[in-house]
Amino acid sequence: MTVDEHSIAGLLAESWDLHVDGMRATTDGLCEVVELGLERRARPQDERGDPQRRRFLQQSLLAATGLTGLGAALFGPSLRRVFAAGNDVDMVNTAASIEVLAVTVYKQAASLDPNVSGAAIPAVKDFVVAVIQQHSDHRDAFNAAAVRLGGREQTNPNKPVLDTVVTPAVGKIKGPADVVALALTLEDAAVQTYVSFGSTATDAAVIKTFASIAPIEAEHTATLRVIQGLLSLGQPQLIAVPIDIAKLPGPAGGIAFPDSFYPIDGARPASEGMVTG
């Protein structure tokens, strides 16, 4: 993976110029906008959760402050940031829906015949028990964040992923490799989603929550990739903790982490699991 340094330098210079111009303009006006946002955040969820209302208010504020053209371009992001408190709630709701789904899937897998689920392998069984607890804790953390921000808890599984990924896959499970593949898909989606969400969230505690949970899901993906690799080699007896690295084929040493930077192209949409109604 390479870094385009020239593009970065150009973007940074442009960003700095905009920043200096903006800061020189109207700090007072921006503070007024922040105050409006805080006042809005204090209102009940049903008054501020409507996307259309959110856009209407944003446009009205821009018009009221006379910010057009460059002003709107400079302070549009600030206004969006103020209204992004609602987006933070959507994101933690969606994250909670992913965790609910993960718990459901792992529990469903645990209910299968151990020779089908892979639980006949002690290390796999231990892994499943541990991740069920961890995903439950993650769900609780995301829901606590939602409530703190004035939103509501998400107790339902992520429906699009359930309908398009999980349900079709469950119907085709024939053995441990299928279960591992499904689990890996979910865990990978979780990491990508939390990296993406953490990158754009505005509340510091929410950012830290995403930052502290994404790596844990990545530990799950690493473990599942090793299990998957050993199953594909017909070496289930090597799936153990501690792992006997002396018995692993050479390439196995690198299969757990295919990328230097975790990608986000598979991140779920922020509003996918938002609580409505």
Partner 1 sequence: MAAAGVTGAGVLVAGCGSDTGSSSGAATSPTASQGLMLVKLAAGIEVLAVNTYAAALAAAGQGTLGKVPDAFATFAQTVRKQHQDHADAWNAILTASGLPANTTPNPKYNSVVQGQVATLRTIVDVAKLALTLEMVAVETYVAVASLITGATGRRTALSIAPVEAEHVAILNAVLGTKLDATPQKGFIGTDMAAGLDSLNG
CB 265 within 8 A of CB 192: yes
Q: Single out the residue of 40, 81, 125, 152 in contact with partner 1 (rule: CB under 8 A).
A: 81
CB 213 within 8 A of CB 262: no
Question: Applying CB under 8 A, does 120 fall inside the site for partner 1?
Answer: no
In the numeric block, which tokens belong to residue 179? 């279960």
Task: Tell me the closest approach of the beta carbon of residue 49 to partner 1, in angstroms.
Answer: 19
Question: Applying CB under 8 A, does 253 fall inside the site for partner 1?
Answer: yes
Q: How far is Cα of residue 75 from the mean position of the Cα atoms in its chain?
A: 27
CB 152 within 8 A of CB 45: yes
- DSSP-derived secondary structure for 1-61: ----HHHHHHHHHHHHHHHHHHHHH-HHHHHHHHHHHHHHHTS-HHHH--HHHHHHHHHHH
Q: Single out the residue of 63, 137, 233, 266 in contact with partner 1 (rule: CB under 8 A).
A: 137
Stretch that binds partner 1, among 19-27, 54-62, 64-72, 152-160 (CB under 8 A): 19-27
130 versus 159: smaller Cβ distance to partner 1:
130
Task: Tell me the closest approach of the beta carbon of residue 167 to partner 1, in angstroms.
Answer: 27
Q: Single out the residue of 86, 262, 272, 273 in contact with partner 1 (rule: CB under 8 A).
A: 262
Task: Tell me the closest approach of the beta carbon of residue 106 to partner 1, in angstroms.
Answer: 12
Taking CB under 8 A as the criterion, which residues in 219-238 touch partner 1?
Answer: 219-223, 226
Burial class (CB in 10 A: 0-12, 13-18, 19+), 207: middle
Please work out, in degrees rounded to the nearest 5, the angle formed at the alpha carbon of residue 154 by the alpha carbons of 151 and 159.
130
Question: Applying CB under 8 A, does 19 fall inside the site for partner 1?
Answer: yes
Question: Applying CB under 8 A, does 151 fall inside the site for partner 1?
Answer: no
Question: Applying CB under 8 A, does 42 fall inside the site for partner 1?
Answer: no
Question: Applying CB under 8 A, does 165 fall inside the site for partner 1?
Answer: no
Question: Applying CB under 8 A, does 113 fall inside the site for partner 1?
Answer: no
